[in-house]
Structure 1
């Protein structure tokens, strides 16, 4: 029978413990990974478009909705991606990203209803502030809300392209998805 050397056994146990610690940390990070997004869906007379911003997260981990401190989200307008470079560039130009690089979403009030949740949300874009009542629901540990808004809510004239042959409609569908723990 081969004898176990004390140095090898200690080295093996230490390596296994380090590996287990690393796996624990990775599992914790993946379990708490934030999958937040703000999606803006719109349409033109010829097709539709979707611009999404996934590059933001809560400073304290998951978003909380039942404390006195409700979410305040700062979005970099240049982080919106519309699926192709031309559309993304046009979208950022419409929102005047050079002059107004940030858009903010601030929760003013949040309450439980019989089925879901109701929030008063303030959206600030291009120095224009608009408040909306938005219904939220929970899906896969995310607080999800949807609201129909308009470019004109923020004094933005929907653009036209190709001499008016392509017209962007005023109506937009705003979708918020924020990782939370209820």
Structure 2
């Protein structure tokens, strides 16, 4: 019986180690928020980065969870998920530096594309990248709530975590 518990625990840790996610962190004049999509996977379990094959990740906007039903619904409405159900993250270029990796990443949503230079590091077999972006990069006006008393700030912090073999 102890063996089964250990095996189950190992499988759970392994499954968690393979989890991919994209987090979008933002704030208002009152609070902070975080919306996460962790419902996507690589074809073979891990993302590969070779000259001939770089990832093209398709995220369902409705798979983002902001930890609060109302915030999640508002987030999906801001990104117009009914008309534009997908957000795409496409790696255009990927190079190794002495201490990290640099990538050109194209983010496409709501028929708008924007390219960003993103620095990635390897942490626990995961490729972790962070980039500051803005709603306005995609022609989105940050929303206001309660008659303008709550204002969402334009600045967002995008975090990528991808299981990989590099």
Give the TM-score normalised by the residue count of structure 1.
0.82
Partners of 2:25 and 2:89 lie apart in 1 by 17
- What is aligned with 1:131? 115
- What is aligned with 1:147? 131
Larger Rg: 1
* 8 A Cα contact 1:77 1:95, kept in partner: yes
Is the aligned partner of 1:87 residue 2:37? no
1:34 positional shift: 2.5
- What is aligned with 1:115? 99
RMSD: 1.8
Partners of 1:136 and 1:176 lie apart in 2 by 9
- Gaps of at least 5 residues in structure 1 are 1-22
How many pairs align? 158
Runs of 4+ in 1 over 4 A off after TM superposition: none
Give the TM-score normalised by the residue count of structure 2.
0.90
1:113 positional shift: 1.0
- What is aligned with 2:90? 106
- Gaps of at least 5 residues in structure 2 are 1-6
1:61 positional shift: 1.9
Structure 2 SS opposite 1:169: coil
1:16-35 CA-to-partner distances (Å, cap 9, x unmatched) read: xxxxxxx7xx95x9479621
